[in-house]
Amino acid sequence: MPSISQKGQAMPASPIRRLVPYAESAKKKGIKVYHLNIGQPDIETPEIARNAVKNADIKVLEYSRSEGSEQYRTKLAAYYAKQNIQISAQDIIITTGGSEALLFAMGTVADVGDEIIIPEPFYANYNGFATASGLKVVPVVSNLETGFALPPIEDFEKLITPKTRAILICNPGNPTGYLYSREELVKLKELVLKHDLFIIADEVYREFVYDGTKHYSIMEQDGLDQHAIMIDSVSKRYSMCGARIGCLVSKNKEVIATALKYAQARLSPPTYEQIAAEAALETTDAYFKEVNQEYTLRRNTLIEELQKIPGVKVPKPKGAFYCVVELPVADADDFARWLLEKFQDKGETVMVAPASGFYTNPELGKKQVRIAYVLKREDLIRSVEILGKALRQYNLN
């Protein structure tokens, strides 16, 4: 029997998926599981997007262009202009989700054995894309005490080697919810200019910023045109994760030309979903305002309730819809499994994402979990109540 590639063996399994069998057997036992573990919003996808698909007059479901439809990219550029990002349709390649944009970006800037520096904790699938691309992720540690702010630039500089090709940030951050300030972005800019690196900014949560704060895009920074690559997606913005429509944006023409070759090899992004994504651009400001208010309330509720539990530490995130929470447990992986396997309160329990999967060194996240606030407020209140009871019982054992 021929053997699997070393790369395939090294591909990380999703850290959250490890818990899925436990969640499934809990459900089989009739236990209701509140999913605090995933970033699948319950918000309705804008009707305008769904109707565009319903009303699409398609006889032959043809390939679109590899770089995405001209019309969609043109409208997308206009959307970005409203966000203070001045780009043209030629600077955009439509991808199959932000995931594919990340793969294209890594393949464009780095070769096998090259290094990418990423502040951790970070979105676990960055590991998967790096492994698939043969790259080494070099983590720079941010921590809960500072709310996961940008680590000192000296920490980055210590890690830069001749193999360093790029710095990858997620802004606002999954899993941290941290929103980088203008000052932090300027520091990063100086760093990448000094060392002639690329900076890849995953901005898929750009609309999810709270308390009147502003999101600063990597594309707004002067002097970074040849260095900046923005990753975006419609998944969270319009609650259409299943669309798998994202994009890679850069004013560096060689980056776009190279990413386009990757795009041509896979022919095109999906057609129906591009129709939905294009129509979604007409979504009213009222929708975003309402969604933002709802998430602000959810976040406030979640953080307030969590902070009532003795021993729990959680910074109040300014963006995205996650927070990283330190729990009074020695091993959050074990606790998360125990929640599903052994615990229930009136037939209900919660599923959380152990943060170890978001760190290169799992020890760093050993006491932490990521909680997503994508559920209704009453469900969040009940979830945290369950979590509090569970912690008391777990720590008695």
* Strand 368-372 versus strand 136-141 pairing type: unpaired
| Residue the block writes with tokens 């979990």 | 369
Shortest Cβ distance from residue 286 to a copy of itself (Å)?
Answer: 18
- For residue 43, what is the DSSP state? S
> Closer CB to a copy of itself, residue 1 or residue 396?
1
Shortest Cβ distance from residue 195 to a copy of itself (Å)?
Answer: 9
> Closer CB to a copy of itself, residue 259 or residue 350?
259
| Residue the block writes with tokens 């651009």 | 281
Residues 292, 293, 294: CA angle, nearest 5 degrees? 90
Query: Maximum distance among all alpha carbons in the chain?
Result: 64
Shortest Cβ distance from residue 150 to a copy of itself (Å)?
Answer: 21
> Closer CB to a copy of itself, residue 283 or residue 344?
283
Shortest Cβ distance from residue 189 to a copy of itself (Å)?
Answer: 13
> Closer CB to a copy of itself, residue 240 or residue 380?
240
* Strand 164-170 versus strand 115-120 pairing type: parallel
Shortest Cβ distance from residue 53 to a copy of itself (Å)?
Answer: 6
Shortest Cβ distance from residue 245 to a copy of itself (Å)?
Answer: 8
The one-letter amino acid at 361? N
Q: What are phi and psi of 169, to 5 degrees?
A: -120, 155
How many Å apart are CA 288 and CA 238, to the nearest integer? 9
Q: Name the residue among 59, 50, 64, 19 with its Cα closest to residue 37.
A: 19
Shortest Cβ distance from residue 161 to a copy of itself (Å)?
Answer: 15
Shortest Cβ distance from residue 346 to a copy of itself (Å)?
Answer: 27
> Closer CB to a copy of itself, residue 104 or residue 148?
104
C-alpha distances (whole Å) from 135 to each of 131, 175, 200, 210, 265 are 6, 22, 14, 34, 21
Q: Name the residue among 365, 353, 354, 359 with its Cα closest to residue 139.
A: 359
How many Å apart are CA 223 and CA 147, to the nearest integer? 29
Structure tokens at 322: 């996650």
DSSP assignments along 64-79, one per residue: --TT--HHHHHHHHHH
> Closer CB to a copy of itself, residue 47 or residue 211?
47
| Residue the block writes with tokens 């599903």 | 340
Q: Name the residue among 71, 24, 111, 43 with its Cα closest to residue 275.
A: 71
> Closer CB to a copy of itself, residue 87 or residue 103?
103
> Closer CB to a copy of itself, residue 58 or residue 81?
58
